[in-house]
Amino acid sequence: MKLTIFLLLLNMLHVTASSFAQHLTIKKNNATLTEVFKEIRKQSGYDFIYSDKLIKRANPVSVDLWRKDLKEGLNEIFIDQPFTYSIQGTTITLKPKAGFAAATDAVQEQRLTGVVTDESGKPLAGVNVLAIKSRVNSVTDQQGAFQITLRTESDSLRFTYVGYQPKIVRIVRQRQIHVKLESADTKMQDVVVTGVYTRSKDSFTGSATTYTGQELKAVANTNIIQSLKTLDPVFAVLENNQFGSDPNRLPDLEIRGKSSVVGLKEEFGVDPNQPLFILDGFETSLRTIMDLDMERVASVTILKDAASTAIYGSKAANGVVVIETKQPLPGQLRLSYNSNFNVSAPDFLSYNLMNASEKLEFERLAGRYDFGAWDGTGVKKMELYNKRLEDVLSGVDTYWLSEPVRTGINQRQTLYAEGGDTNMRYGFGANYNGITGVMKGSKRNTFSGNIDLIYRKNKIQFSNKLTVSYVNASDPVVPFSSYSRANPYYRKYNAEGFVEKWLTNVTDEQVENPLWNAHLNSRNLSKGNSINNNFAAEYTIVPSLRLRARFGVTKSIDETDNFISPESTQYDRMDPLLRGSLTYRNSNNLQYEGEFTATYGMVFKQKHRVNAVTGGRLAANESLLNGYTAQGFSKGNYTTAAFAKRFPENGRPAYNESASRSNSFYLNSGYSYDERYLMDVTYRLSGSSVFGSNKRYANTWSTGLAWNIHNESFLKESDWINLLKLRASVGNPGNQNFSSYQTYTTYMFSNSSTSFFGEGVVLSGLGNPDLKWQTTLDKNIGIDAGFMNRKLLFNVDYFHKNTDPLLINIGVPASLGINTVLTNLGNQESKGFNGTITYSPIYDPVNRRIWSFRYNFRTESSKIDNIGNTLDKFNESGRNNNLRRYYDGANPDALWTVVSAGIDPSSGEELFIKKDGTYTLDYSFDDEVQVGINRPKLEGTFGTSFTYKGFSANIDFRYRWGGQAFNSALYNKVENITFAGLRSNQDKRALYDRWQNPGDISPYKGISLSKKTQMSSRFVDEDNSIALESFRVGYEFMGDWMKRSRIRSLRLNAYMNDLFVISTIKTERGIDYPFARTVSFSASVSF
């Protein structure tokens, strides 16, 4: 145990770097001492403090140093000087030698006062002010004012403040100054934060984009994902048409396409195409990011190509999203409060349902009430029709869509207190995020608190971030589709005003009332709590070398509780002893990881910059799942397991333990010559228990090259070219987003197989000890450019990814006792372009006057190959269920079906086109061809933003062009309406646009209650659209009244998101949960 602890602590060591060194290489002849000091400052990062009168007595310096130790070099330089030196930290102070002290005349002290503000003129409290020569310091007060006593006539003041760029101001006999500091956010885009190291974008060869917290909140205030999909073209959020705006559903995400194919998400419960999320240097889940308070976010960096993601090696094939949270600021105690409210309304614009009279007429034309169409023994057909017609004529026209929905009033409240000094900083925060979904019974309430501590003393720094959260959520028991299917000629309530169990209950026609099931004591609840602690320790050995150790641990417990009342309509014809069910699940998860990294940086001869990062990581994830399903409950409030009568037949409680472990070693090195020619190389050796015992370790690597053309001599003096950079990279990041034990042969205990010899087992999974890692050869070429003082900016990337081998579930004979097995098979190739263009006709950030236009795009395509006929079983099972097929050389996003020639005007029957081009009335799966691609040729956003003083506004639209989609509303609600389908409401086009008489030119077949329509190209539509994705207006208050009120900042914003979608495809959006349109308001104040 002690050895284990020792090894774990050893592997936690972490190193970070600086770009300076403590060795000097200087060659000077009769140079002034100030020239030599300037060169030393460049190479070592050390500052000098001295008086002007003292330095005037300096002798010329002639010296030839080659990689001399700092102190040895200084001794040579000062050997003939009338003064000596002392070193404290990174400061070198000059003092006269004995015998020369009288020669330095004292200078009369002078007092200097000033004010420090940000770019907008707001005072900054707690700014550290250091007089470099006089070696005195001061701190600004709440009004940003300071005073300092200088000991020389001329001096230099250094202003430093967390969150702002340091600034040095030269002082020559001034008595009062005003200093403006530039926010670090304005430079954030010029820095790449990988979560392991931070590097200047000018010296980085990879494709990466950084967004500040303010940029994210300028688009949306709901969550990070909502903002990123608007800001970055490579970050794709796939629309979930089934569950719309359900706050408890996680979105499907992609960065530059897919790297995995069929069946993996459904089989493993994890998405193998999901990018890796890093929060403050540690891996985290998508759910954590969705629930993260946006007020805590300092920046988000998207790492896209192999050169930028390779540091994460085996997990980076899908891209990496790095989130850094804010650190507490020093100074007096400051309090910040942020309040956000939003109103969400369900969006029904895509629904095209019949009203009561239309639906009754459709049923009459369909022959629903004809003699012989129904041989019921209850109410006669015509009597039923007349009764319903009487109800319709009396005004019955129930609008069922409004019943399960509401206007969602949501709020997020955040309180944060921070303060401290240069040695110790602290921050305490609390957050409440209450989401009321647009469906009744839908909610997600998140409570969280965090404590941030930073302690720094000399060369050592400790930091700790503790976060505790609790989530309470629920989902509606009755899906939205149950209401959208209800016929409008049914009444919601009976004559007494009560909800009845059945809308109609006659022979051969029993239709449930969704309001009945909704009003029962059924429930669909979930809750969870988690605690996360991330600790880091840093030690600066020398300015060029810094050690850092990090250790993070996350503990989470989640519960789900799903109860269905015994009075639900689904149990109406069941044995009373089996009515009602309770399903309970409890999952307990523990995740921990430790990491060490060493980063070294050095500049040789002012032109050769060398960076190196090396480190290792250990991680483990342990989970425990247990639960049960119980049946047989009595009517009433008897909803706990104690009242259940039995388990389901052949059922029993569930129990599952799983553990996965991984380790890795990595090395990254970078070289830059004169900030013009750049190179990065990364290697990572990764091991994981997820893969086969014979293939536990995998090697991943990357190489990146870049050319900063703007730093060439022929462009360096150019007034209109500010940035011109060419990039290229290649590497093979991997993907281990898979569940544990997929490579093991596993068994499950079987109660029914107990014998004299003990408990029996059955095969649960067939292992594969030779299962290889899934890696992707990722190639990227890109260009970054900026012109006219960065008024025009653009970047464009071309990528080509080849995943080989793929991990695919293939069918196996049922005699094995399982249906599928995971294996390495085939490869997938993806390629495409993405880019962003920004033009600012007005660009004056200092005076806060900016007007910008932006446009981003992505286009991509994929191809799967070398799979042979192994997915034929999947293809066959998809016939007449979906249009996805997987064939060699085909696009995995392709839609496959038989081509339709339309509806024959003479008969109303559909004509099909065979592969040989001939026409037929017979549908054959052998004639399937590719009829479309379910991915747009071009997709992205465009918009504009405007800032003037305190006022700001922006608007962003999303466009989609060139793709096709299967129109499920046409297939299920216009055609394929059987006798049973008449119990549900249908699309208006089923009444008005279907063929009725010979000679009719119609896109849809004649009305029939018996003939089934096959999926054909008639149901594949062009999917082009434009949507208003985001609109915001805001105002930031300024003025003397804020100082008198002790208010540091006050901002108000109003947002509108997803207001409308204009599309060429007319289909229903949000089947079981509707989409929503949102209007939000936020207020942020700090004291």
For 799-857, write each residue's pLDDT tens digit: 999 998 888 777 777 667 777 777 888 899 999 999 999 999 998 876 788 999 999 99
Residues in the chain: 1087
Check whether residue 272 and residue 235 sit in a common domain: yes
pLDDT tens, 257-276?
877 765 545 454 557 788 99
What DSSP assignment string belongs to 832-901? EEEEEEEEEEEEETTTTEEEEEEEEEEEEEEEEES-TTTTHHHHHHTTTT------TTB-TTEEEEBEEE
Last residue of a domain, one of 168, 183, 198: 183
* Domain endpoint, select from 139, 164, 183: 183
pLDDT digits (tens, 9 = 90+) for 990-1027: 999 998 889 889 999 888 766 788 999 999 999 999 99
Angle in degrees, CA 81, 85, 88, rounded to 5:
165
Q: Where are the alpha helices (DSSP H) in 702-785?
A: 713-716
pTM of the model: 0.81
- pLDDT range class, residue 562, cuts 50, 70, 90: very high
- Say if residues 377 and 509 touch (Cβ distance below 8 Å): no
* Structure-block tokens of residue 95: 């003092």
Q: Which two tokens stand for residue 528?
A: 């969870």
Instruction: Assess whether 162 and 219 both reside in one domain.
Output: no
Same domain, yes or no: 171 and 253: no
Pairing of strands 276-279, 208-212: unpaired
Domain range for 53: 18-100
Same domain, 95 and 153: no
Residue type at 1027 in one-letter notation: A
CATH number of the domain within which 281 lies: 2.170.130.10
In a domain, 628, yes or no: no
Same-domain pairing of 275 and 319: yes
Q: 552 lies in a domain?
A: no
Residues 95 and 41 in one domain: yes
What pLDDT is attached to residue 373? 47
305 lies in the same domain as 225? yes
Domain count, the chain: 3
Q: Is residue 227 part of a domain?
A: yes
In a domain, 57, yes or no: yes
- Does residue 339 fall inside a structural domain? no
Flag whether pLDDT at 505 surpasses 90.
no
Look at residue 573 and tell me if it is in a domain: no
Across all residues in the chain, what is the average pLDDT? 85
Per-residue CA distances from 106 to 52, 93, 150 (Å): 11, 17, 12
- Phi/psi for 395 (5° steps) reads 110, 5
- Give the number of other CB atoms < 10 A from CB of residue 798: 15
Domain boundary among the residues 165, 183, 201 is at 183
Q: What is the CATH number for 174?
A: 2.60.40.1120
CA distance linking residue 351 with residue 399, whole number of Å: 12
Instruction: Determine the Cα–Cα distance for residues 1075 and 1081; give it in Å rounded to an integer.
Output: 20
Q: Is residue 77 part of a domain?
A: yes
Q: At 51, which CATH number?
A: 3.55.50.30
The rounded distance, in Å, linking the Cα atoms of 560 and 789 is 56
**Cα separation of 431 and 1086, whole Å?**
15
CB 869 within 8 A of CB 895: no
Say how many CA atoms lie within 13 Å of 433 toward its Cβ. 18
Tell me the residue ranges of DSSP E strands in 9-100: 15-16, 23-31, 47-49, 61-69, 83-88, 91-96
Q: Which of 187-201, 443-457, 500-514, 692-706 has the lowest mean pLDDT?
A: 187-201
* 6, pLDDT greater than 50: no
Q: Are residues 135 and 223 in the same domain?
A: no
Q: Are 167 and 181 in contact (CB under 8 A)?
A: yes
pLDDT per residue over 675-725, tens digit each?
A: 899 999 999 998 888 777 777 888 999 999 999 998 888 887 787 888 899
Does the pLDDT of residue 798 top 80, yes or no?
yes
| 274 shares a domain with 167 | no
User: Residue type at 16?
Assistant: T
| Mean of pLDDT values over 234-239 | 90
Let me know: does 233 contact 1043? Beta carbons within 8 Å.
no
**Do residue 229 and residue 310 come from a single domain?**
yes
Assigned domain for 319 exists: yes
pLDDT of residue 198: 79
The answer to whether the CB of 778 falls within 8 A of the CB of 759 is: no
Q: Are residues 179 and 222 in the same domain?
A: no
Query: Averaged over 360-383, what is the pLDDT?
Result: 72
My answer on whether 133 and 45 are in the same domain is no
